Structure 1
Amino acid sequence: MTTLAADREIEALMALHPKGFDLSLDRITRLLERLGNPQDLLPPVIHIAGTNGKGSCAAFSRALLEASGRLVHVHTSPHLVSWHERYRLAAEGGGRLVDDDVFAEAIARVAKANDGQKITVFEILTAVTFILFSEHPAEAAIIEVGLGGRFDATNVVERPAVSVIMPVSMDHEAYLGDRVELIAAEKAGIMKRGCPVVIGAQESETALQVLIETAERLECPTFVYGQDFLAFEENGRMVYQDEDGLMDLPLPRLPGRHQVANAAAAIAAVKAAGFEISHRAAEKAMATVAWPGRMQKLAQGRLAELAPRGADIWLDGGHNPGAGVVVAEALAEQEEKNPRPLFLISGMINTKDQSGYFRAFKGLVRHVYTVPVNTSDAGVPNDELAIRATEAGLTAEPMSSVANALMLLRDTWDGPPPRILIGGSLYLAGAVLDENGTPPT
């Protein structure tokens, strides 16, 4: 795919407008009015917020709807390798990443409508989402929140088919608050009066209470994980249960026990949005769901070839303590099935709780190699990150790159084929997929 035209448009925008977030809906609302309010012309919207699991829920929702023969648009952020990944347009046989010429034209049109007014690039690109999704036919649109919820640029859809709140935990404290109940309140901001709400499995009772109270105040039909629906693993299968009964399904293709709860939230969300899901469609969805950069196995590629022979390599973009816990649990599950020594190659950015992330792997990882994240201005220097890992009780050493860490491990490890996790940042995950020659499609 050629990406030059759209990339040039985005680079021009970045030169004009500030980076980062500016939490307000005034600018995006003004811009959308100039564009004819395309957000009001969308098919039924599944709007997804949360600290962790948003992307997985979006992936499961897409898989469920497409397995049911539905045409589905999907907006996710951030991207891993290409901006085009944020926009998957509905197509027969499964959605496709937006074509470069269509994308570039939409960006140019939105930028022209903005007419040089103060705005963030994310807001312009969110307006592009609404333009693309309103002008291409589909039966559903899955839209992932960028940051928070209440003031996120995606939060201009007045009547979503369902609002979904995935697990809430500490992240983006500078923007969203330094207590989990404050963060939960921001996420709950996507709930709309009288519109259905699905609340996924929550780690925090405090967060759960805030979410339920908000939904009750807004008189939303509410479906809560563990109360109105749930899922569990039994005899190597996934059992989903709600008021309609049981579904005995294959375990999700995405690794980790946490994906059972994520899949359950997606099933509940798609049903709450008014779509029927047959048992056959749900089975197909669990077997076909894909979500790049999240516990993704790297079986081949330029980087994979540098690892020790027979190594089991996993890539994950999770970057906060909550993500660290679920990734560590997924790896512990792998360890139970097939014991191997585990090594971690990690790069992180400075807005994340690095020690908190590393603590999840104490007692599980033999050694950490810390690497720079060259694709972000906020990358933590590899020597500093090694100190954070050491503070969390791990042994660590800085390396100049993922490639060099893999080669060092190959040249020095004298034991059974290891298991290797490359993780700690979506920026790192994207860079690895790019360098490996296996970008998302």
Structure 2
Amino acid sequence: MFLSIKIRIKSFAIMGTLLLTLHAVAGIARYWLINSEYQQTIAGRVEVSTPLNSWKRVTEGVYLYQEGIDPYSGDMFHETPVGLYVFDWLIRNCSQWLGIIFVASDLLTAHLLYMTAKYFMVELVETENRERNSYAKDVGNILLKEKDLREAPLHVAAAYLLNPYALLSCAALTTTVFSNLCLASALLAMVSGRHILSGVFLAVATYQSLYPAVLIVPSCMYAARSFGPSKTITGKFKVFTTVGVFLISLAFILCASAKISSGWHFLNSVYGCILTVPDLRPNVGLFWYFFTEMFEHFRSLFLAAFQLNALALYVGPLSMRLRSAPFLLAEALVALAAVFRSYPSLGDIALPLALLPMWRHLFAYMQQGFIVGCFLLITSVLGPTVWHLWIYSRSANANFYFGVTLFFATAQIFLITDLLFAHIKREFSLRNGLKQEIDGKAAKLVLE
């Protein structure tokens, strides 16, 4: 017994040392890039900076604000009024510490994801223990082990800290760093059962980038089931509390924004830009090319279709199918929003990718991991290459660059569908056993 306790203490000490080392290495790498000669080049990349998260646009908006000019009167500034107020204060008082603030925010995001993974892995183990009697007898090898509780959170932190997409986003000083921080806070509050904090952080994340609003569904699922089926009334009360806190917090922030900007005209500059996509500069998303090429009288139709993909289309079907796995639903919705949002960046994609190690127990059931990995690697290299050929060498055109971004989005969609189907296959195996036969022959689940 004492030997087992000593081994566990030593294991936790090793994990803690590794976690601190990861944070130190990632922090040094980010700070070095921010203060290096490559920072301007990274910040100018269309894959990293967009009209919604560019630090250059933030500084221009803050300058107009300091000069008494309304930054929302034109089509240049699209940050929220609260963000404008905070960035104005930072630039006035902490301009020499901006790099450290961005690095610290990104490291804090990684730590929040680490804590989220710890809570989630405990939840998975408790669920398996509770439903153990309903599982088949030969599934012992695929059940979660104690090492999964220790290793998965560390892998999540490493997947964010060492992710080149997150690294570049921080080095470019994009405001996506703060959006990811708010989103990670909302996810941690959700999975840890703090439904009031979940509503507050979700309201802040929605206020910043709109698309996290869909996470109110998995948040309500957590609130409803946290007390178990024997306390349905209490569960419903928590659902109403979560939704109420979310709406009240969002309304309060919007009213404060109207006070800061002296009116409600900021809504068109912030959320109107997200929904109507007036700026068609190339990025890693799908909007810019379609709306550049299409006839203007089809614009409203395609805007509705594209925004439905990002905001509402998948919420209902996925919620019904994943009602017993709300955090997997949250992962799918965050990943889908990263693909289909109007102005995506590499920083948006970094967060759902970092969450993948939480489902390491599903990797054995995934069939497209190699293809997705190759797609992401190749398109990440080809994107800047084709951009140079198009913009500087003029030996390519927009079709080449859009082809790369289309494959990049396709790889993410393959990853999401593969993860969801792997969850379904593992569920089936737990209930029906590992060996499946049809007419005396070995059967295999395939995605049709």
Q: Identify the TM-score tier after normalising by the shorter chain.
A: under 0.3
Q: Which has the higher strand share?
A: 1
Higher-RCO chain (CA-CA 8 Å, sequence separation at least 6):
2
TM-score (norm 1): 0.27
TM-score (norm 2): 0.27
Q: Which has the higher helix share?
A: 2
Q: Which has the larger radius of gyration?
A: 2
